[in-house]
Amino acid sequence: MNVTAKKPQAATTRVLSYANALLETMDGALAEHPNVFIMGQGVDDFKGIFGSTTELAEKYGAKRVFDVPLMEEAMTGIALGAALVGDYPITTHIRADFSFLAMNQIINLAAKYRYMFGGIMSCPTLIRVVVGRSWGQGAQHSQSPQATFAHYPGLTVIMPATAQAIVDMYPQIINRHPGPVISIEHRLLYNLDFTVAEGHVPLTSYVARPGRDVTVVATSVMVVEALRAAQYVQDTAGIDSEVIDLNSISHPDWDLVAGSVRKTGRLVIADTSWLEYGVAAEVCRQVVLRDPSMLMAPPTMLGMAPAPCPTAKSLEDIYYPSQHETVDAILTQVRGADHGIDLPTERSMTEGYRRFRGPF
């Protein structure tokens, strides 16, 4: 592919898959910045992290794009060391779960370096981690660690939900963000096509769909789900949902969220991880701290069931919130539990992503 990260001309749009948006931004970063290099297990193989780094090693050489041994902690530390002397390393984990092996470097070192040294050290770097789901990813290939990482000051944690978010945010980060960034990419998004326009997704939250009846705050693939659900309730019940893509987990725009809730009085939160001590809980905390009287009803929260992820499809189907439940949550917020509107029959959200056929 011969592509660059340059934005399309004004008023033009194009269709771009999430994976190709990643490939385009990786390619653009390597082309524009000699100090950028990409390392990770398998970045130069024929699958290229699900198509996001394919053929970049051939194009830029093994000094810029290279495979590494199985060494998650050392890789992250090596990235930090290279960043300290002026390089910009991009590291990848084909499953977010493997980044847990790098927790020491991410939390004890990268997150603290600027502060701990009084601003004289900085380690700008991008850590890409991919969340698995469906096709039996199971307990150790499916975890979505945004709350874990965002808990620690010093890290910037983002969850791009669309190709637009990738092409807008990654160049901002690579060009000028001063600290370590963890981008949590969802595997189910990789194969989806998005309409990409001239735009600017900020490194914080934004309104993905304006509305007046209910606020839906969502993350990652749940933004796509929320937008589908918003369309459904619009079509079936005339309910006008405002969908906010939280987008930045570490630095959300809480004023935007609170302003929306003040307007609608109703709140649904849909996250890709567990609810306990998680992002949904934090959204509630922020809203309640500002003004609990904004809420006309207790918020509804959607996330994974409080268990490790089961492999059996019959269990996985009920482990994740479905389109059925997302629609029900919005309708219940606005019309009450006896809303009487027919729900979509889709129980398994993966029905919406038929192109994902595994194995990983």
Partner 1 sequence: MSEDRELYRRLFRTALLIRLVEERIIELYPSDRIQSPVHLSIGQEAVAVGACDALRPDDLVFATYRSHGFYIAKGGRLDRMFAELYGRVGGVSKGKAGSMHLSAPEVGLMGSSAVVASTIPHAIGAALSFKRHGNSRIAVAVFGDGATEEGVYHESLNFASLMKVPVLFLCEDNGLAVHSHRPVRQSYSLVKHAAAYGIASRRLDEGWDMLAVRRATLEAAARARAGEPFVLEIATARYKEHVGIGDDFHFGYRLESDIDAWKKRDPLIADKALVEELTPAIEREIEQAVAFAENSPSPSRAELLTDII
What residues make contact with partner 1 under the rule CB under 8 A? Answer: 37, 63, 68-69, 71, 73-87, 89, 104-105, 108-109, 113-121, 153-154, 156, 177-179
- Asked if 37 contacts 63 with a C-beta cutoff of 8 angstroms, the reply is yes
In the complex, minimum distance from the CB of residue 123 to partner 1, in angstroms, rounded to a whole number:
9
Angle between helices 221-237 and 323-335 (to 10 degrees): 50
Count of C-beta atoms within a 10 Å radius of residue 229:
29
Based on CB atoms, which residue is closest to partner 1, 22 or 169? 169
d(CA 1, CA 151): 38
Based on CB atoms, which residue is closest to partner 1, 81 or 202? 81
Based on CB atoms, which residue is closest to partner 1, 179 or 303? 179
Based on CB atoms, which residue is closest to partner 1, 115 or 277? 115
In the complex, minimum distance from the CB of residue 286 to partner 1, in angstroms, rounded to a whole number:
18
CA 58 to chain CA mean position, Å: 28
In the complex, minimum distance from the CB of residue 289 to partner 1, in angstroms, rounded to a whole number:
18
Based on CB atoms, which residue is closest to partner 1, 134 or 148? 148
Based on CB atoms, which residue is closest to partner 1, 50 or 88? 88
Q: Which residue has the tokens 């060391």?
A: 81
In the complex, minimum distance from the CB of residue 102 to partner 1, in angstroms, rounded to a whole number:
10
d(CA 156, CA 192): 25
In the complex, minimum distance from the CB of residue 80 to partner 1, in angstroms, rounded to a whole number:
6
143's CB contacts (< 8 A; 6+ apart) are: 96, 97, 131, 273, 309
d(CA 116, CA 70): 29
Based on CB atoms, which residue is closest to partner 1, 81 or 136? 81
C-alpha triplet 339, 344, 348: angle, nearest 5°: 125
Based on CB atoms, which residue is closest to partner 1, 29 or 269? 29
Q: Which residue has the tokens 């930045």?
A: 248
In the complex, minimum distance from the CB of residue 97 to partner 1, in angstroms, rounded to a whole number:
17
In the complex, minimum distance from the CB of residue 82 to partner 1, in angstroms, rounded to a whole number:
4
CA distances, 347 to each of 270, 275, 340 (Å): 16, 20, 18
- Tokens read off for 64: 């810029």
Burial call 187-221: b when 16+ CB within 10 Å, e when fewer: bbbbbbebebeeeebebbbbbbbebebbbbbbbbb
Based on CB atoms, which residue is closest to partner 1, 82 or 343? 82
In the complex, minimum distance from the CB of residue 111 to partner 1, in angstroms, rounded to a whole number:
9
In the complex, minimum distance from the CB of residue 159 to partner 1, in angstroms, rounded to a whole number:
17
CA distances, 31 to each of 59, 82, 95, 351 (Å): 10, 19, 26, 38
Nearest to 101 by CA among 69, 147, 124: 69
